Chain A
């Protein structure tokens, strides 16, 4: 939750994908230039790197794990949209630790490999091959040169043979692990410990209710159709204009001349023309006439701004004005009477 909020509060967040693309692009171009410029010698040396002893593969595996660690940690903050932040923190911490450990393992391996490249003849001769726990765990305990021993006799399909390697233990653990998870998950939900989705919704609404109360206590009572007043300072009116143009212009015209909705620039109003009336119409809407309710889209202060802006349109006589609808509204005295029945 927190993470997403941060994303949204960054101004001009839209530029970031473009930047990441640029970085990404530069990286690839750089890589290409590097590859093209490699001289033959380096290339040959790289080609002769002893990859067949398994070190390189192990490195790849480790990298794979690190990669997965990253993927998961990138997802975990997203994956707890309603969970508590502490949990997210712990999950991230665990992944971080895992990444550090894996990095350490990887680095030792690379060191080891470099050491052996620099000291050929060391450690390769005469010593009985010893199966490292990692080889066993990753399923590579039978070396490539020994695999004839585990070829399955009689399995020859258009030249394809099969080895009789055991399943990699880590994969077995993963399988068992997911089954255990599945059982626990099922017990949690089928056993009635976990909330069903309607229960989750109720919880979410209760939390929101609580937050709203806290907010109201801090911000003071909010404005409604009875307490609203006309804004006169230019800044508020200008903001009201922007709100109008994004939300109202589709039906009422860019200049308030009317369209699907009525003309807002004349002196005739269908539901009253006081600031209280206009505020109320915007807030609750007139569904039977097609005016939608904006209560859920615009906070009261914004409705106030746009209402005030609308009142400034009176008498502007824009082009293509729609014919007058409703009754002539005379200011002062009569406001808020005829509309009582509307809801």
Chain B
């Protein structure tokens, strides 16, 4: 057959078809709008750490709710839409076919924007699962899954209907991203709904933490990295007008990257209660990730061979070079940070914050900007409005990144040094945690300045692109011609196996990439669930009382885990500061876990019984009354709002379903116990001269805080 089609090549008529630029333009606008919102959120959060008054004493604007808004907006709205912009532009062109379905494309666009809107409303309202970068509640999670799979179907059908034999590397990266994120999202989001907009994670404690960071780490991998590598493989050679440096390198680094990346999740849990073996796996795979990551960087940089003179003049290339360099730096730092002794310093400090912002501001941000500056003149059919302004954006953005990251690295090192320092007497040199935070305030301020500079550049881009669009006219569709696939299909038996078996067969590519990303997670996660020795039982650990459970949900709602960890690592400095190190058996009723990833405030794992109830009451009303100089927001509404106890029976039943050993029928009488415990606390507060009523939210929160870490104290 192949011979026949070859000889017919000249005689076959060319197909004529259209590329849709309108969808691309729409995604580009969404990228810009949500980028602005996400960055403004980040800026607000940054300055809240310097000026706590910026929390405005409102539930909706406290750091604990703004921070997830910032991360979700930047990751899923800005970078997500940026990915889709580039994908809907490049996929039809490299496959020589329009997208399979315009309707699915439209559905993808509007569905995704609605999801983002739902997130932007629900997160400030306090609807959160408390799983980082997966905070959205279950109805939104389902919507995400539907939209995501729709887009995946559209992509794979477009690949099947292509007019080139061999699928280009950019599309491999897109496809793998879709496959992996679908898997990660579904597994991590499994939860039992309690009501509309409230659910409990299916997993508890150690298992929940492992699943969460398997997800969290690979959200970085398959949402922020591989989609953007795909974009790089299209837009960099287009902008530089150079061939890709090495096809072989792209094959090896693609497969190595997606296979190895998925294993590295546990490096977010070094020195925690996660079993040692899983931690070790996380470390070794992170180290092996270095070369595959750099494979992407080198294929990008070496593609620019012979075009470096243009890099000096072309602002698009400038953005792309800095983006790729930032990617190289972040992926060098990543493996180093997963070495245990380095991680002991970086974990819970601003070092991690600096690290991710090199990636987010440098790699994702700058690549997006480069692509937008390249794209707008082409779809609006006129040169960029102002090269000068674009250059200004480049420089102020670069300086902004430096101003952001340098102070954060410094802050991370200083704070860790202060945490770990002992006096010759054998006491902590900085026993007051607050001291280690307030000393960072100037650095936090500088970080805010860096963010401001970056944002100024971003607004310059908005103006520039706006003017470009206003002065040009959108080329809504572009006509192209190509021979049908059947006419060009040669199917050389002499081709290398990977081309015959995978790169020409979209479904095979889909299946093999799924296998590659599924293996690592399975090997790490399944034994943690199945082998009971991984979580040794502690007899004294009992389920939460109904009041404590309600208090815990308030803790989750207010996003306390964003600044307070619940994980005392087995270091001398930490057991000296907080008490006994955390054991995996303590968390068996924590649906979901609250280990946290950043210690802006002290660890709370052993806070139970440390202070009187009245201390907590006063502290939540105004933290500076008990800790002068504290940068924690005030929570006055907790003192005023009534606790909703109508949800108690449903919550107890959900917990029973998850295997928490409440007695049968306890859901009916749980509120009686709740009232009893609330009375005790109200009574104790009254003794300290605080008048309140037992049905306030603060009572439940105090009950939960006083319980924290005490189960194991009782056993000692």
Contacts and interface: CB of A to CB of B under 8 A. Distances in A.
A57 B308 contact: yes
A290 B612 CA distance: 4
Interface in B538-552: none
A160 B302 contact: no
Given A159-B238, A260-B612, A289-B612, A215 B407 contact: no
Interface stretch (B290-298, B653-661, B670-678): B290-298
A88 to B, nearest CB: 11
B377 interface: no
Nearest to B329: A71
Contacts of A80: 341
A296 B428 contact: yes
B336 interface: yes
A5 B344 CA distance: 16
Given A201-B570, A215-B426, A162 B243 contact: yes
Contacts of B577: 296
Contacts of B429: 8
Contact of B164 (A139, A157, A161, A247): A157
Interface in A218-260: 219, 222, 246-247, 249-251, 260
Nearest to B345: A78
Given A4-B421, A287-B609, A147 B243 contact: yes
Q: Describe A's contact surface by its main secondary structure.
A: helix
Nearest to B90: A158
A108 interface: no
Nearest to A260: B614
B245 interface: yes
Given A81-B420, A162-B247, A189-B276, A208 B291 contact: no
Given A247-B432, A260-B615, A57 B305 contact: yes
Interface size, B (range): 35 or more
A240 B438 CA distance: 22
Contacts of A81: 341, 344-345, 420
A189 to B, nearest CB: 5
A17 B431 contact: no
Contacts of B283: 185
A21 B404 CA distance: 11
A204 interface: yes
Interface string B627-669: 1100000000000000000000000000000000000000000
B342 A181 contact: no
Given A79-B342, A81-B341, A299 B298 contact: no
Interface stretch (B26-34, B39-47, B131-139, B248-256): B248-256
B406 A297 contact: no
Contacts of B428: 296-297
Interface size, A (range): 35 or more
Contacts of B289: 178
B537 interface: no
A20 B305 CA distance: 35
Interface in A16-44: 17-18, 20-21, 24, 28
Interface stretch (B78-86, B411-419, B590-598): B411-419
A190 interface: yes
Contacts of B612: 260, 289-290
B284 interface: yes
Nearest to A301: B425
Identify which of B96, B164, B294, B425 gathers the most chain A CB atoms within 10 Å of its CB: B425
Interface in B601-615: 609-612, 614-615
Interface string A287-301: 101101000111110
A178 B289 CA distance: 8
A297 B432 contact: yes
Identify which of A160, A171, A205, A250 gathers the most chain B CB atoms within 10 Å of its CB: A160
Given A250-B625, A290-B614, A296 B244 contact: no
Interface string B144-174: 0000000000000000000011101110000
A51 B418 CA distance: 48
Contacts of A171: 249, 291, 294-295, 298
A260 B615 CA distance: 7
Contacts of A165: 245-246, 248-249, 302
Interface stretch (B177-185, B439-447, B463-471, B510-518): B439-447
Contacts of A297: 427-428, 431-432
B110 interface: no
B422 interface: yes
Given A52-B309, A182-B284, A212-B426, A250 B628 contact: yes
A184 B410 CA distance: 32
Contacts of B292: 175
Contact of A51 (B166, B308, B422, B446): B308
Interface string A52-94: 1000110000000000100110010011111100000000000
B688 interface: yes
A17 B422 contact: no
A154 B166 contact: yes
Interface in B561-589: 570-572, 575-577, 581
A257 B415 CA distance: 34
Given A79-B339, A174-B294, A14 B442 contact: yes
B347 to A, nearest CB: 12
Contacts, number: 228
Contact of B305 (A140, A201, A222): A140
B319 interface: no
A289 B577 CA distance: 21
Given A79-B341, A160-B243, A260 B618 contact: yes
B248 A164 contact: yes
Contacts of A189: 276, 280
Nearest to B164: A157
B479 interface: no
A193 B565 CA distance: 31
Contact of A179 (B168, B288, B294): B288
Contacts of A4: 413, 417, 420-421
Contacts of B10: none
Given A168-B298, A185-B280, A163 B247 contact: yes
B285 interface: yes
A160 B168 contact: yes
B432 A246 contact: yes
B710 to A, nearest CB: 11
A144 B306 contact: yes
Nearest to A168: B298
Given A56-B308, A81-B344, A164 B288 contact: no
Contact of B572 (A162, A204, A222): A204
A128 interface: no
A130 interface: no
A212 B345 CA distance: 24
A140 B571 contact: no
A204 B237 CA distance: 53
A340 interface: no
B446 A17 contact: yes
B291 A175 contact: yes
A155 interface: yes
* A-B pairs with lowest CB-CB distance, top 10: A290-B612, A297-B431, A175-B291, A182-B284, A144-B306, A158-B93, A157-B94, A165-B246, A161-B243, A201-B570
Given A151-B243, A174-B294, 10 more contacts: A51-B308, A72-B336, A139-B246, A144-B306, A157-B94, A158-B90, A165-B245, A186-B280, A296-B427, A297-B431
5 contacts: A68-B332, A165-B245, A179-B288, A251-B615, A297-B432
